Amino acid sequence: MEMSPKRGANILIWAVLLTMPYWINWIGGYTSLGSRVMVLALAAMSLNFLLGFTGVLSFGHAAYFGLGVYGMGLTIKYLVPSTVAGTAVGVVAGAAAAAVIGLLIVRLRGIYFAMATIAFGQVFYFIAYRWNTVTGGDDGLSGWHRQPIDLGFAAWDILGSDRAFYYWVLVCFAGATGIMAALLHSPFGRTLLAIRENERRARFLGIPVDRHIWLSWMISCFFVSLAGTLYALLNNFADPHDLRWDQSGDFVIMAVLGGMRAFWGPLIGAAIFVVLQDYVSSQTQNWMSFIGLFFVLVVVFFPRGVLGILHRPSSR
């Protein structure tokens, strides 16, 4: 039985991710770089659930990413030294904030929706920036570190080994992407695609568009908050920059680089962005200029992203 190209691509991607700690050093990388790629890829794929598959642009996802970061850090430092508890607090905090804000902006469209997400996101940024006694303000939240993962029946020590932490990130990444893929292949996911393609026609068919956009927003923010908790564990630090609007812009860049209409596009975009950033920043202080130029070239010559090149419809 012949294997489909899509299935073959999925097997290749998972094979690369599963074996990355064993070969990344051979090409000049390091295990923590692979963990960073996967964490930011999860954030970009979460955003793309809303952007690429629902057709709604958000520039405020860094707020919920940052709530995950600070939820993890504040829990371990002030409440209980538990990675599992910190993950739960970070994800719940991000999802709860997204639920309330989503109800306020769900009727907006286009640039108005995007600007509203920035405005609400900046509120969380300034709280973290100014609340020095709790968040550390501009200096960030330090003095804490990731803890072994106690699942009750087993413990997973992610403290001293970058490889052990990488595989914990991979488990979370696999679970999150598996759920997103299942949702996109369900009737709910097909409805989101219908809204993306023609919202007016979807309304005529009796689809509750605002409710579906709110649900898509919630799912997207839930998983970007999970990515935030992993990012906090990766750095053992919480930075107010993680909540700022330009962090949201990085997520959008990753999604566009890889291809918004492809499920794995943001993963490819995140890998390109993070690796390029890591290399160029070690060569020059003007690394942002080079990344910006690279992004412009991709948008001009490959508007559908890297994976979009492979899915061009054949000309008739």
Residue 3 confidence (pLDDT):
60
Residue 230 confidence (pLDDT):
96
pTM of the full structure: 0.93
Would you write out the chain's pLDDT as a tens digit for each of its 316 residues? 456 767 888 899 999 999 999 999 998 889 999 999 999 999 999 999 999 999 999 999 999 999 999 999 999 999 999 999 999 999 999 999 999 999 999 999 989 999 999 999 999 999 999 999 999 988 999 989 888 887 766 677 777 788 999 999 999 999 999 999 999 999 999 999 999 999 999 999 899 999 999 999 999 999 999 999 999 999 999 999 999 988 999 999 999 999 988 999 999 999 999 999 888 888 888 878 888 888 888 888 877 888 777 665 444 3
d(CA 123, CA 173): 28
CA distances from 111 to 30, 58, 61, 116, 276 (A): 39, 9, 15, 8, 30
Residue 311 confidence (pLDDT):
60
Residue 75 is given by DSSP the state: I
Residue 301 confidence (pLDDT):
80
Residue 303 confidence (pLDDT):
77
CA-CA-CA-CA dihedral for 191, 307, 275, 248, to nearest 10: -30
- How many CA atoms lie less than 13 Å away from 99 in the CB half-sphere? 7
Tokens representing residue 294 in the block: 């690279």
Q: Give per-residue burial for 109-147: e unless 16+ CB within 10 Å, then b.
A: eeeebbebbbebbbebbeebbeeeeebbeeebbeebebb
d(CA 207, CA 215): 13
Helices then strands, each counted (H, E), the chain? 14, 2
d(CA 95, CA 116): 17
Residue 128 confidence (pLDDT):
93
Residue 316 confidence (pLDDT):
39
d(CA 202, CA 82): 45
- How many CA atoms lie less than 13 Å away from 209 in the CB half-sphere? 21
What residue spans of 185-309 are helical by DSSP H?
187-197, 199-204, 209-235, 245-258, 265-281, 287-301, 305-308
Catalogue all structural domains in the chain, each as residue range(s) with its CATH number.
32-311 (1.10.3470)
